[in-house]
Structure 1
Amino acid sequence: MKKCRICKSPIEPFISFGQMPIANGFLTREQFADEYFFELQAAFCANCTMVQLIDQPEPQKMFHENYAFFSSTSKRMAVHFEEFANHVKKDYLTSSNPFVVELGCNDGIMLQHFANSGIKHLGIEPSVNVARVANEKGVQTISEFFNESTAKDILGKYGQTDAFLAANVMCHIADFNSVIAGIKMLVNPDGIVMFEDPYLGDVIEKTSYDQLYDEHVFLFSLSSIKYAFEQYDMELVDIEPQGTHGGSMRYIIAHKGARLVSKNVYTQLEKEKEMKLNKVETYNVFRKNCEKSRDSLKQLLVDINKRGKRVVGYAATSKSTTILNYCGIGPDLIEFISDTTPIKQGKFSPGMHIPVRAYEEFMAKYPDYAVLLAWNHGEEIMDKEKQFKAAGGKWIIFVPEVKVV
């Protein structure tokens, strides 16, 4: 029996997506034969309520010098992170010479707003190529994986931090307990931890199962975060629901007793009980919903292809790896995936080996249908691609349900 990564209790598997490649592992034809696969299987812990992957590839297989995701590619996310930074500066940095640490700062998209204000800061980013971009922007960044040992080094060199931040990062780290232990050491007595990740409640509600892929080892809820931090005498003091990534939650944590706990926390914890996020039955229903969604999407694409229509994918996202592999969608159903990220262009999608081509190819000759693989940026994309619709193009969406728009 596998044990929970947080509390070491036995965990209950509730879904297997089958053999899955590295989500951001876009590859050349020559690399097909050596492609790495693992079983993508999720489980629920009834004791601490954490939803987690049973197995996760080694971090070095996912985050490295060729990491294919740069945060600054989305204009909407750039605005979101500027607002996040301004909120921290205005409401939480009260000392005369504050120090801010961001875990998984990527290309410096958020931390640059502290750097530009002359605020002492440090970014921690394990992927060497994106860390280099952050440093070039004037954002002081080290390329390391974060744990207790890294926290000790930072403490020795820089002292304690007033705000420890992260966005779409915490759910990536398998040894979450070591991260919390490091945070406890690094955050000063009046300091805060503020991080946001995809919210379990939204995933269950929308059947957005593509939030489960190699990098996302956890799907957090308030109750699981509360439990995890309480083990280290830290407490969840506030939350701020976010619309990003199809539904995220921002958690604000402090040392126990340092701040009052907002009523928002208690209200949302009650909602989680109503949603039965603490019951394994919820996840068995989720599995059935995933299977229905999979079969429906595959059948739709088969039917469209039978009618001789052209279908392409829009945006070669990490999430799309779960969708395409779980649904068995390959180049026979999707001609190519259009993407603006140069590092992905001319390569093939992980596992299913659909060609990834430059965005210009999408524009040069519009297809009949485009599968919106970056559904969480749907509004922004549809706004940008009004010409595609005007030319008679149709979007295929699969969250919260499979439909053509």
Structure 2
Amino acid sequence: VFQGKKSKSKHYLEALRKNEVPGLLYLILFLHDLGKDQGPKGHCERGVEIARGLMERLGISDEMHDRILFVIRNHLEMSRYANKFDLEDPEVIDSFAQFIEGEQRLRFLYVHTFCDANATAPDLWNDHKEELHTQLFVNTLNVLEGKHARKDPSVLKNAYTEIEVEGVPQNELIEHLDQVPERYFSHAGKEEVALHVDMVHRFAHNGNSSGKPILSWRNDVRRTLTIVDIVTRDRPALFEKIAGGFSVAGLNILGARAVTRKDGIAIDVFYVEGENGGIVNDTKTRALCESSIHDFLENETSPDQLIKEKRKKTDNNRPFSNEDRLGERIPPSVDVYHDVSLGRIIVEVRASDQVGLLHLIAKTISRCGFSIQFARVATEQGIATDIFNIEKSTDGKKFSPSQFLQLREELSESLNAGKYYLEV
């Protein structure tokens, strides 16, 4: 990996060389999966027990044991955090930094995760995973080095009061800063705040009593994706209908973040790519997406029929339909649980990646009385692994843990009825 075959691996070598004994990585890579002799379940802890005995026989000094055993025990954790949580949320980074405790542990785990993935399969690592993995590393390292202590939200808010937005009175900026939830300031930089203030201004002054949604398209060349900001009035099934608009236009959602102001104005940010990946520059595709979202939100129409037609057309263009494929078909997997360390409700779905999948999941989550705050979507070899951070909708009803079970069951039923089977 470090012999120049992959130029993108150079920063891993640089990170590794900052540790006292970089060569420990090779020992960790040798030891980390020895616990799989009885299968993958629980292999990390079994690997630790095996490693202890081997390190004694190899004469590894006691002071090195901690770093080696820590990575073996937790070699899946960095991928778990990167895939499940919002890496721009200071609480997430603080939690991971407290878990890691030291810079050397972090560097070994960072490099090990990259090497392990590349050794498992040549196409297991991609630019999207690299972006998330390195973002988690850099943000955590900054916390451990004391460079990025968490700032008081009021300090961040005050730093934005001097922003000037052309055509927007200063009092509307101040009002926006007062209306958004505190977590908004953890995500939005000055340019994004200015954009949202301008969009909220246009939304409030567009002369449409129904509140015609305002959309903005931004290309992120570095990450080869497009960011779509949407400002509209919050309502039930908002995420579901917006996701439906992207599906009808043939766009893939990679992630999303949603906040709602105190006055009920929703600001949703979606990270999307074209049907075949990359930035979305096609004007017809953008226009279709916008018109679909406007229709679904303003006219209260359902995306279901259009998605069904889009899916049928897509299936007809494939060599084999879902029913014709050979091999075993297993049901989609769904898990709903409360992550104690961060206080987040997590939904994990693994299903066949087909048109309308995200819309169906969002529709079911909404129907069960939850709203989506953050989403991360990944697809590999036709299999979608979708992660959602959700919260209970403010409908006045008391929350019951049994709602987790209900959501899990309804998601499973919806995915099975939609034939989002996994092909093996």
TM-score (norm 2): 0.26
Q: In proportion to residue count, which structure has more helix?
A: 2
- Return the structure number with greater relative CO, CA threshold 8 A, min gap 6: 1
TM-score (norm 1): 0.27
